[in-house]
């Protein structure tokens, strides 16, 4: 069901990505260790040219990639997205030296990146960061504190770390640092999550950084974080939609062939209406995601609200669609290893990370009232 805004070439590219995900990426994903970085999978994404495309394409391309990969291989989608999330601050705000040192390896799939924003006491309230950057000499700091729920931790090769350089300044006192994994004092541990993504904690014990490691400007790191999230939030929705479309297609196939009560499931009105509702919600959410991505690429002024709307609707929709798909499949979908059992675990996380659904509603309301005041 292609959206009206996509060109035939884009639809063909999405079909090719789904094929590559199924034939080349899924076998590598199956060989990976749950909850750990799958470097062969990351390297294959690099060989296919998808990682380097993160830095040459816009938000719409990012959404199409994430949706298409998620349809056939959620692990490949996650590996691509985490590379982009960790490396985008370097691409957008790094110095020429930082970009030359790290981005070629990210694009090739030989260097693993990570985005280190959340802390035990600062998840949804990102401005409450407590990780301390204590001055150390004329142009250096020592980072001390803990990060948690960090993508690709503790196995990444470098981290975009957000630390407080000015105490008591809220969002205005945060600085973004590029921290290589081999810096002294930097350790971490993996976390065992419901969906086995490579996520962990970081402990920073007086980790040394200098002005050469700053991304952007000192005390302006919150802009780096929010700019990254504004780009990636619609694509989180695209990730969720890829899973929703896979669940919908599986449900169409199952209800068309399954006999029950003397007829095919699809011939029962209650089932047919349920499937119609699933399709309706998926298409509505997909159009909102594509609109938000297009707004980002065009530099529209309402990107934060559009991004929040897209992420919110798409992730909530995917949760609904996957849940209904499981219900219509019955007990078989609850068996470990069934594609829907896998999607049921995968689909829960996007409603939380990169800003929970409640945070997105807060952003939307804030932007609406700000617009009202501007119209005065």
Q: How far apart are CA 326 and CA 334, in angstroms?
A: 7
Does this model's pTM top 0.95? My answer is no
Q: Is residue 79 part of a domain?
A: yes
Instruction: Average the pLDDT over 130-156 and give the result.
Output: 94
Q: How far apart are CA 79 and CA 84, in angstroms?
A: 9
Residue 5 has pLDDT above 80, yes or no: no
Please indicate, yes or no, whether residues 190 and 213 belong to a single structural domain of this protein.
yes
239 and 288 in a common domain: yes
Mean pLDDT (whole number) for 133-162: 94
Q: Is the pLDDT of residue 63 over 50?
A: yes
Q: Tell me, what's the pLDDT at 274?
A: 97
Within this chain, do residues 354 and 276 fall inside the same structural domain, yes or no? yes
Q: Flag whether pLDDT at 1 surpasses 50.
A: no
CATH of the domain at 35: 1.10.540.10
- What is the mean pLDDT of the segment spanning 77-84? 96
Residues 227 and 358 grouped into a single domain = yes
In a domain, 1, yes or no: no
In-domain check, residue 46: yes
The verdict on 130 and 82 lying in the same domain is no
User: Last residue of some domain: 59, 83, 108?
Assistant: 108
Phi, psi of 49 (to 5 degrees): 80, 10
Is the domain of 281 the same as that of 242?
Answer: yes
Closest to 215 (Cα-Cα) out of 174, 168, 256, 251: 174
What integer pLDDT is reported at residue 93 of this predicted model? 97
Q: Is residue 123 part of a domain?
A: yes
User: Taking a C-beta distance cutoff of 8 angstroms, is the pair 75, 33 a contact?
Assistant: no
CATH number for the domain harbouring residue 192: 2.40.110.10
Number of domains making up the chain: 3
Mean pLDDT, rounded, for 51-79 = 95
| Of 74, 108, 142, the domain-final residue | 108
Length of the chain: 376
pLDDT over 80 at 2, yes or no: no
**Band of residue 125 on the pLDDT scale cut at 50, 70, 90:** confident
Q: Residue 349: how many CB atoms within 10 A of its CB?
A: 19
Residue 224 has pLDDT above 70, yes or no: yes
User: What's the rounded Cα separation, in Å, for the pair 251 and 270?
Assistant: 14
Q: What is the bridge-based pairing of β-strands 113-116 and 132-135?
A: unpaired
Question: Can you list the positions of beta strands (E) in the chain?
Answer: 113-116, 132-135, 140-151, 158-164, 174-180, 186-190, 199-210, 214-215, 259-260, 263-264
Determine the distance from the C-alpha atom of residue 288 to the mean position of all C-alpha atoms in its chain, rounded to a whole number.
17
Q: Please say whether the beta carbons of 185 and 208 come within 8 A.
A: yes
- 201 shares its domain with 288: no
Residues 71, 214 within the same domain: no
Mind listing the pLDDT tens digit for each residue in 163-179?
999 998 888 899 999 99
Residues 192 and 311 in one domain: no
Q: What is the pLDDT of residues 299-334, one digit of tens each?
A: 998 999 999 999 999 999 999 999 999 999 999 999
Q: Looking at residues 78-82, what average pLDDT do you find?
A: 96
- In DSSP notation, 326-345 reads HHHHGGGGGSTT-HHHHHHH
Domain encompassing residue 307: 223-375
Structural domain contains residue 117: yes
Percentage with pLDDT > 70 across the chain: 98
| pLDDT-based confidence at residue 126 (cuts at 50, 70, 90) | low
pLDDT bracket for residue 374 (50, 70, 90): confident
Residue 180 pLDDT greater than 80, yes or no: yes
Q: Is the pLDDT of residue 14 over 60?
A: yes
- Residue 349 above 80 pLDDT? yes
In a domain, 2, yes or no: no
Q: Which position has the higher pLDDT, 63 or 168?
A: 63
Confidence of residue 229 (pLDDT cuts 50, 70, 90): confident
> Across all residues in the chain, what is the average pLDDT?
93
Asked whether residue 3 is assigned to any structural domain, the reply reads no
Instruction: Please indicate, yes or no, if residue 310 is contained in any of the structural domains.
Output: yes
Q: Catalytic: which of 354, 358, 367, 373?
A: 354
Domain final residue, candidates 76, 93, 108: 108
What mean pLDDT is predicted for residues 354-365? 93
Q: In the prediction, which pLDDT does 353 show?
A: 86
230 with 361, same domain: the answer is: yes
Both 240 and 371 in one domain: the answer is yes
> CA 62 to CA 80: how far, in whole Å?
10
Cα distance between residue 279 and residue 294, in whole Å: 22
Same domain, 364 and 232: yes
Tens of pLDDT, residues 259-296: 888 889 999 999 999 999 999 999 999 999 999 999 99
Q: Give the CATH number, domain containing residue 253.
A: 1.20.140.10
Known active-site residue 354: yes
Confidence grade of residue 158 (pLDDT, cut at 50, 70, 90): very high
């Amino acid at each position: 069901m292609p959206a009206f805004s996509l060109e035939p070439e884009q639809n063909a590219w999405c079909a090719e990505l789904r094929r590559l995900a199924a034939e080349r990426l899924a076998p590598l994903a199956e060989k990976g260790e749950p909850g750990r970085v799958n470097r062969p999978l990351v390297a294959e994404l690099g060989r296919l040219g998808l990682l380097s495309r993160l830095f040459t394409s816009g938000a719409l391309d990012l959404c199409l990639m994430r949706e298409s990969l998620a349809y056939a291989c959620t692990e490949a989608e996650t590996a691509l997205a985490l590379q982009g999330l960790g490396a985008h601050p370097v691409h957008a705000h790094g110095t020429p030296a930082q970009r030359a040192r790290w981005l070629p390896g990210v694009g090739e799939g030989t260097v693993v990146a990570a985005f280190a924003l959340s802390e035990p006491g600062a998840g949804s309230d990102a401005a409450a960061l407590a990780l301390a950057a204590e001055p150390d000499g004329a142009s250096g700091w020592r980072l001390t504190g803990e990060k948690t729920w960090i993508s690709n931790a503790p196995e990444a090769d470098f981290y975009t770390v957000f630390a407080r350089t000015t105490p008591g300044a809220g969002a205005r006192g945060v600085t973004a640092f590029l921290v290589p994994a081999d810096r002294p004092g930097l350790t971490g541990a993996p976390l065992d999550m419901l969906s086995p993504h490579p996520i962990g904690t970081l402990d920073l014990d007086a980790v040394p950084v200098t002005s050469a490691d700053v991304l952007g400007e000192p005390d302006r790191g919150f802009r780096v974080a929010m700019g990254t999230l504004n780009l990636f939030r619609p694509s989180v929705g695209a990730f969720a939609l890829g899973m929703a479309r896979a669940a919908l297609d599986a449900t169409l196939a199952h209800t068309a062939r399954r006999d029950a009560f003397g007829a095919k499931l699809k011939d029962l009105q209650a089932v047919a209406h349920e499937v119609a509702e699933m399709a309706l919600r998926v298409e509505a959410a997909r159009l909102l995601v594509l609109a938000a991505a297009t707004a980002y690429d065009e530099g529209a002024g309402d990107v934060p609200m559009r991004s929040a709307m897209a992420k919110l609707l798409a992730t909530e929709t995917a949760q609904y669609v996957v849940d209904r798909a499981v219900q219509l499949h019955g007990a078989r979908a609850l068996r470990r290893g069934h594609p829907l059992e896998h999607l049921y675990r995968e689909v829960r996380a996007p409603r939380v990370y990169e800003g929970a659904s409640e945070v997105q509603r807060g952003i939307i309301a804030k932007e609406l009232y700000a617009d009202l005041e501007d119209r005065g």
